[in-house]
Amino acid sequence: MHEMTVAELSAALAAGRISSEELTRAFLERIERLDPGLNSFITVTAEGALEQARAADRRRARGEGGPLTGVPVAHKDIFCTLGVRTSCGSRMLDNFVAPYESAVTERLAGAGMVTLGKTNMDEFAMGSSSETSHYGPVRNPWNPDTVPGGSSGGSASALAARLAPAATGTDTGGSIRQPAALCGVCGLKPTYGRVSRYGMIAFASSLDQGGPMARSAEDLALLLQAMAGFDPRDSTSVEEPVPDYAGELDAGVEGLRIGLPREYFAEGLDAGVARAVEEAVAQFRRLGAEVREIGLPNTRLAVPAYYVIAPAECSSNLSRYDGVRFGHRCADPTDIDDLYKRSRGEGFGAEVKRRILVGTYALSAGYYDAYYRKAQQVRRLIRDDFRRAFGEVDLIVGPTSPSTAFRLGERLDDPVTMYLSDIYTIAVNLAGLPALSIPCGFVDGLPVGLHVIGDYFREGRLLAAAHRYQRETDWHRRAPAGFGG
């Protein structure tokens, strides 16, 4: 049962072959048995899950509900969930029980999905390894000595270990796609504004985007269908009709023009990863796609621009954690400054502090023009690169991450190397484009992710290409030893 995709589970539920309650019990049992070695969950909501499962079963019995009704899901602990702790992986919010529900979790609950719990993550989504969590590091089921990637590493790890058939993630600079790649699962970052950010704890507001994670492109389509859509509570959400993603899934890739940015196949890319990606490209060619080389000349500016803009926004977004109204408050403050300093000093971890400091500096009087304004100009150049490219091609393909999963602790004290592991994903966030990562091979037993980038609001085309590829390959069906059938 745990090997089945969302689409398969949905069919089984619809046919009455299994009940949501059985399914939910099975996943809860796996979580209890297997997660202690992975640490992919921060909170497991077993009781609530069983209640929701029974409600879903009743709904199905009445002939109501949709394809997702009764299917379990794990939510990244960045989405506010009414009455359930929402920690964002931080000591600061260890005591925070949200008094309201995020748009994403509300929509998926409305579709009848059953919430298994809240997944572990880098603190406030700041990291690429899921090691900066207050609740300890998450491990990669393919090799527990390696990281699952981040920041949505808990969701990716849980999917790979078959602890949940579906999950949510958020992606500010690659936080859905990079862990999906490192854990051998699928993840989609939608167009900025496609999915409401309401109730999603902000890291960098102009870059953050929630999206689905699962084990097939078809599942991503089912999940995105429920998540996407305009939300008047988020001023940056876009009033653009949501297409029928499942209906577009079989569009194939024949005649599609695929661009390979020469800058993505350059220095720093692991040779094994490059081979796997090239083989996937060859597969697309065999399926009728036309492949050509393109240029994204400002690629090298993406990481520096990102590491000005994201920290600048985060330095302001995280000011609300001051110990006054909610979250961690230091013991016995002597005055207001002491309250601020110790509450924030104790509540935030090192990586979060590093980014607040960098962002505060970048926005300071006298530095704003040199850093923040300049970074925004670079951002426009990067967006223009993609605009030009999408004049020539329909999809852009490359590696999701320059390497496979790295060892726990290896890059913790080397932030720049850590930051560079997001080199291919970051530009997509700066431009606000949709992109996904799907498994395309292995290097030394660790999964490799294929990165497919599309034009604005062309998630349907992305999913169709990935689905076509997955009909020919079985990389996405492979399970890590000890977690499979």
Partner 1 sequence: MSDWEVVIGLEIHAQLATRSKIFSGASTAYGAAPNTQACAVDLGLPGVLPVLNAEAVRMAVKFGLAVEAQIAPRSVFARKNYFYPDLPKGYQISQYELPVVAHGHLNIDLEDGGTKRVGITRAHLEEDAGKSLHEDYHGMTGIDLNRAGVPLLEIVSEPDLRSAREAVAYAKKIHALVRYLEICDGNMQEGSFRCDVNVSLRPRGASGYGTRTETKNLNSFRFLERAVLYEVERQREVLESGGRVVQETRLYDSARNETRSMRGKEEAHDYRYFPDPDLLPLEIDAGFVESVRATLPELPDAKRLRFEDQYGLSPYDASVLTATRELADYYEAAAAACGGEGKLAANWVMGELAGALNKAGLDITASPVSAERLAGLLRRIADGTISGKIAKQVFEAMWEGGEEADRVIEARGLRQITDTAAIETIIDRVLADNPTQLEQYRAGKDKLFGFFVGQVMKACQGKANPAQVNELLKRKLAG
Contact residues toward partner 1 (CB under 8 A) are: 79-80, 86, 88, 93, 96, 98-100, 102, 197-202, 204-206, 232-236, 312-313, 315-316, 318-322, 324-326, 336, 340, 360, 363-365, 368, 372
- Residue 112 CA to residue 261 CA, distance in Å, equals 41
Catalytic (active site) residue 76: yes
The residue written with tokens 């078959």 in the block is 162
CB–CB of 106/141 below 8 Å? Answer: no
User: At its nearest, how many Å lie between partner 1 and the CB of residue 402?
Assistant: 28
Exactly one of 151, 157, 216, 403 is catalytic; which is it?
Answer: 151
Long-range CB contact pairs, 234-240, < 8 A, 24+: 234/103, 234/196, 234/197, 234/198, 236/192, 236/193, 236/197, 236/205, 236/206, 237/193, 237/194, 237/195, 237/196, 237/197, 237/198, 238/191, 238/193, 238/194, 238/457, 240/193, 240/194, 240/457
Q: How far is the CB of 265 from partner 1 (least distance, A)?
A: 32
Residue type, 248: E
Task: Pick the closest to residue 76 from 43, 49, 52 (CA basis).
Answer: 43
205 is known as an active-site residue: no
Q: Pick the closer one to partner 1 by CB: 155 or 237.
A: 237
Q: Select 20 or 175, whichever has its Cβ closest to partner 1.
A: 175
Block residue for tokens 């796996």: 30
CA–CA distances in Å: residue 414 to residues 27, 80, 168, 276, 473:
37, 31, 28, 27, 36
User: Quick check: is 341 catalytic?
Assistant: no
| Residue 207 neighbours by CB under 8 Å, 6+ apart | 172, 173, 192, 306, 309, 310, 313, 429, 430
**Tokens matching residue 391:** 């004049």
Question: Shortest approach of partner 1 to residue 362 CB, angstroms?
Answer: 9
Residue closer to partner 1 (CB basis): 235 or 391: 235
- The residue from 90, 157, 175, 315 that is catalytic is 175
In the bound state with partner 1, the residue whose beta carbon lies nearer, of 183 and 207, is: 207
Q: How far apart are CA 422 and CA 315, in angstroms?
A: 20
* Residue closer to partner 1, measured from CB, 233 or 387: 233
Rounded to a whole number of angstroms, the minimum distance from the CB of residue 379 to partner 1 is 12
Place of tokens 């109501």: 64
Side-chain half-sphere CA neighbours of 110 within 13 A: 11
At closest approach, how far in Å is the CB of 415 from partner 1? 22
| Shortest reach from residue 336's CB to partner 1, in Å | 6
Query: Which of 106, 218 has the CB closer to partner 1?
Result: 106
Beta-bridge partners for 435: 189, 453
Q: Residue 358 in contact with residue 416, Cβ under 8 Å?
A: no
| Tokens 């704890």 sit on residue | 201
- Least distance CB 452 / partner 1 (angstroms): 26
Of 265 and 367, which CB lies nearer to partner 1 in the complex structure? 367
What's the rounded Cα separation, in Å, for the pair 30 and 158? 10
Write out the catalytic residue numbers. Answer: 76, 151, 175
